């Protein structure tokens, strides 16, 4: 004769060391039936246990994502540990810049949907790269967002290198990577006079991201008017569309000062 459901349940209880059940209550989830194990230990709230397992699984996925993404992000060693917390604020303009970047990160899901870019423009040594990379790192580590960092010079150099027949990468692969990232931090924009090839390449990247509503953080020592001359009106027009957030870094260089 086949065992009954009740007999099967009793068999499973014995197998896992369950000797009884009793009513219990969870502060968050209310009443439940607690399992009494050998030694008198009681099981906890099943919903709490399930939530804990879900959080552990999420953290496991986050760790895996960080390992992969931190490699492809190519954040320079000097800036790898930069965070919002260690950006030193000593004047109101610096606080405005910090608040703008933290707000951009906090609302990134909305900015990503709308393809809203950010311009960090101003003097050298004022913390533009620090805040841009802190934004990218936070999104990678906490939000599982695919964010990458490139300087214009490095990016153009990588693409030029693909013209060598011995190169292991193709120009199309590099463009797919920088266009396809959820967030691209493009640094040193306008640092040197661009050739026609470089301007065309920058337009391909910025326009490609524009067409797919993918936001870009542009970092440059130029003023807004100078940026227009350096990378072309078509690029700037696309970056500025849909409420681009601009932040001015007009204080003096902080390099070499304690705590920066």
Provide the 10 A C-beta neighbour count for residue 169: 12
How far apart (Å, rounded) are the C-alpha atoms in residues 209 and 227? 18
* The residue to which tokens 């004022």 are assigned: 126
| 64 belongs to a structural domain | no
Mean predicted confidence (pLDDT) in 51-62 = 80
65 or 179, which is more confident: 179
**Domain count across the chain:** 2
| 117-172 residue pLDDT tens | 999 999 898 999 999 999 999 999 988 899 999 999 999 999 998 887 666 678 89
- Alpha-carbon distance of 134 to 136, in angstroms, equals 6
Considering the domain boundaries, does residue 144 fall inside one? yes
Rounded distance, CA 132 to CA 83, Å? 10
CA distance 38 to 35: 10
184: in domain: yes
pTM surpassing 0.85?
Answer: no
Q: What is the mean pLDDT of residues 215-244?
A: 91
- Does residue 164 fall inside a structural domain? yes
Return the bridge partners of 22, or none. Answer: 34
**8-state DSSP, 78:** G
Let me know whether 219 and 143 are in one domain. Answer: yes
**Do 97 and 172 have their domain in common?**
yes
Q: Is the pLDDT of residue 64 over 80?
A: no
Same domain membership, residue 78 and residue 38: no
Selection from 97, 166, 163 nearest residue 135 by Cα: 97
Residue 57 lies in a domain: no
- What is the domain extent for residue 36? 5-44
CATH code: domain of residue 185: 3.40.50.300
């Amino acid at each position: 004769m086949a065992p009954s459901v009740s007999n099967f349940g009793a068999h499973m209880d014995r197998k896992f060391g369950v000797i009884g059940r009793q009513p219990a209550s969870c502060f968050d989830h209310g009443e439940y039936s607690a399992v009494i194990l050998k030694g008198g230990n009681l099981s906890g709230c099943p919903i709490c246990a399930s939530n804990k397992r879900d959080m552990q699984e999420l953290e496991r996925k986050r760790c895996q994502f960080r390992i992969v993404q931190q490699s492809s992000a190519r954040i320079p060693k000097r800036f790898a540990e930069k965070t919002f917390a260690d950006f030193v604020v000593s004047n109101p303009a610096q606080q405005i810049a910090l608040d703008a970047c933290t707000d951009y990160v906090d609302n990134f899901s909305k900015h990503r949907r709308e393809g809203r870019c950010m311009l960090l423009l101003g003097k050298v040594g004022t913390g533009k790269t620090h805040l841009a990379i802190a934004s990218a790192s936070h999104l990678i580590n906490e939000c599982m967002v695919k964010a990458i960092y490139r300087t214009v010079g490095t990016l153009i150099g990588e693409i030029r290198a693909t013209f060598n027949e011995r190169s292991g990468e193709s120009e199309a692969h590099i463009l797919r990577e920088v266009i396809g990232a959820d967030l691209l931090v493009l640094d040193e924009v306008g640092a040197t006079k661009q050739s026609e090839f470089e301007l065309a390449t920058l337009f391909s990247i910025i326009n490609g991201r524009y067409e797919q509503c993918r936001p870009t953080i542009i970092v440059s020592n130029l003023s807004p008017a100078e940026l227009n001359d350096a990378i072309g009106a078509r690029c700037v027009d696309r970056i500025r569309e849909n409420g681009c957030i601009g932040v001015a870094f007009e204080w003096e260089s902080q390099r070499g000062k304690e705590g920066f």
